[in-house]
Chains A and B, each alone.
Chain A
Amino acid sequence: MSESTETGHASEDGGSRRDFLGMLTMATAAVGAASFAWPIIDSMNPSAEVLALASTEVDLSAMEVGQSITVIWRKKPVFIRRRTPEEIAEAEAVPLDDLSDPQTDEERVQNPEFLIMVGVCTHLGCIPLGQAPGDAKGEFGGWFCPCHGSHYDTSGRIRKGPAPKNLEVPAYEYLSDTLVKIG
């Protein structure tokens, strides 16, 4: 009758004497609560209809040499340029030492005729000019970002200006000679 646990008023919380069963019950409760947390957190991940638009197919057959088109992929602009032989030669001839983000042209294209890149400046996210025929193309014949003056060459590599990296090349694959799937 004198042991504190038997009156239900233990001044010791019995933590060191808590036996297996008590701990197991608490642990099970904790596991249960945590496993409910996962679906809640996962609901913030991209939903199915967003993921369904994760890739876009583009038909290149109508493009002429020298033409540039912009398609939307994951809500961002993707520049596709059917480059002229001069533009390709220019791109391939640039020595790596001249580049602040060194990449050969071969690394950046699967088929040299079609350059496919995300049209978002790697500096602070503006959309560079150079797609439309009358647009400024910058000093290197590619693209020019008017926000802070970044110049990209005919391979989309940063040549002058504050942008740190070349224009991003997304993952893409050719489903046929003229059909490309981006993403």
Chain B
Amino acid sequence: MASNEPGPEFSGVVKWIDRRLPIFTMMHKEYREFPVPRNLNYFWSFGALASITLIIMIATGIFLAMQYQPNTELAFTSVERIMRDVNYGWLIRYVHMNGASMFFIVVYIHIFRGIYYGSYKEPRELLWILGVIILVLMMATAFMGYVLPWGQMSLWGATVITNLFSAFPIIGEPIVTWLWGGFAVDNATLNRFFALHYLLPFVIFAVVFLHVAALHIPGSNNPDGIDPKGPQDTVNFHPYMTAKDMIGIAAFLLVYAALVFYAPNFLGHPDNYIPANPLVTPPHIVPEWYFLPFYAILRSFVADWWFFQVFLGWWGMTAKLAGVLAMFGSLILLAVLPWLDTSRVRSCKYRPVYKWLVFLFVIDFIILGYVGGKPAEGTYVIVAQWATLYYFFHLLILTPFVGWMERPKPLPASISKPAVAPAE
């Protein structure tokens, strides 16, 4: 609900620029006067935190790129040179490395907010889809970034994941060779991953711009999920939200600093401090933690199911291909969540049944993450398969069904006037 009042009066140089390119008017309208529901909680700070993380990643990344050598003979040593010989190189590297984890932490919480409070529902569907696109771009960027230090996990993680594309019948193998630029993950692959890893964050930046632009048309959702009815329900973005976001930023930086300065390798894997060796496979190939739930989904489909033995060879559906499709499907399904959810009520605050299903979904995601990091043996496989099934069950069956069947709690009259004596 952007205001249509005339903008502020500027003077001097600012006025001269603004008349020719109204960036100051735009900033004033979008980030100063912009009406924001006054009942937002701290979950609403995570979008800002994500933007800040993106900027930190780009800044540190550019300065790392000045020192890094994208060649298989030199890459590992160049990273160690950064750690040891470049002034503050260790700081920039650890900030960048843990920044990737912080980025996913912040984005996963941001997504949770969206799911719980129904921020993906009309009229914010496109905003949500842009968000899923950002998530996918982040995953591609992070995947390629992890290859660059050229440790054992870099090489073998890249090998396992790029090999997945061979699951596609007929076009699979040529695609993999094309991705690799050779017959295995090697120098050609490393070089192109570096180029793309440098490029994609700027693509993310552009999509984030669209994402925020799409947000500013309807304005922010809020914990009650009901639209603001007037100025009594909102506050100006500045100074109220800027002050609130400062708290978020301080807390975020404290967590980030704890990692960078006191546990910089906690989220990583020691094997990546061993230089890549194409002749030695590590005992357990594990992606970074933020990929684990999707890795678990991927590995859930095993070749000794009767389904694959019956259909195998018919139309090319192998366990491997099913795993790949399920993994990508799990992300694509998220994108269509606005259409899967049939409820007319946005926020889980007023959805007594679905609220618990959302918590279950989160727990399921965590379970998937846990088994994703374990060897694909024994009970872990069974658990992963059930957790994968539940993931899709939640999205495809529970979400639409509960949306129809649920009786929501009565919504408050407005944001600034909560309903009389709430039940609890």
Contacts and interface: CB of A to CB of B under 8 A. Distances in A.
Tell me, yes or no, whether A binds B.
yes
Interface of A: 7-10, 13-14, 22, 25, 29, 32, 39-40, 42-45, 47-50
Interface residues of B toward A: which range? 20 to 34
A39 B32 contact: no
A47 B80 CA distance: 12
A52 B238 CA distance: 51
Contact of A39 (B66, B92, B238): B92
Nearest to A46: B87
Contact of B239 (A7, A22, A42, A50): A22
A47 B38 contact: no
Of the listed residues A8, A29, A39, A40, the one surrounded by the most CB atoms of chain B closer than 10 A to its CB is A8
Contacts of A40: 59-60, 63, 88, 92
For the complex of A and B, 4 pairs with smallest distance between CB atoms: A8-B235, A39-B88, A48-B85, A47-B85
Nearest to B32: A13
B51 interface: no
Interface in B221-264: 231-232, 234-236, 238-240, 243, 246, 249, 253
B265 interface: no
Nearest to A48: B85
A40 to B, nearest CB: 5
Given A13-B32, A48-B84, A49-B81, A43 B236 contact: no
B88 A29 contact: no
A59 B236 CA distance: 74
Given A40-B60, A43-B67, A44-B66, A7 B88 contact: no
Contacts of B376: none
B235 to A, nearest CB: 3
A43 B60 CA distance: 10
Contacts of B238: 13
A49 B60 CA distance: 21
7 contacts: A14-B239, A22-B239, A22-B243, A40-B63, A47-B89, A48-B84, A48-B87
Contacts of A45: 87
Nearest to A7: B231
B164 interface: no
A40 B232 CA distance: 45
B236 A49 contact: no
B383 interface: no
Of the listed residues A25, A40, A50, the one surrounded by the most CB atoms of chain B closer than 10 A to its CB is A40
B87 A29 contact: no
A8 B92 CA distance: 40
A35 to B, nearest CB: 12
A40 B86 CA distance: 10
B87 A39 contact: yes
Contacts of A44: 63, 66
Nearest to B235: A8
B81 A43 contact: no
B175 interface: no
B91 interface: yes
Contacts of B243: 22, 25
Nearest to A4: B236
Of the listed residues A25, A32, A47, the one surrounded by the most CB atoms of chain B closer than 10 A to its CB is A47
A44 B62 CA distance: 11
A39 B246 contact: no
A44 B89 CA distance: 10
Given A40-B59, A43-B63, A10 B88 contact: no
Contacts of B249: 29
A43 B81 CA distance: 12
A47 B87 contact: yes
Contacts of A13: 32, 238-239
Contact of A8 (B85, B86, B240): B240
A13 B24 CA distance: 14
Nearest to A42: B87
Contact of B87 (A7, A22, A25, A43): A43
Contacts of A47: 67, 81, 85-87, 89
Contacts of B239: 13-14, 22
Interface string B63-95: 100110000000000000100111111011000
A13 B32 CA distance: 8
Contacts of A42: 87-88
B246 A29 contact: yes
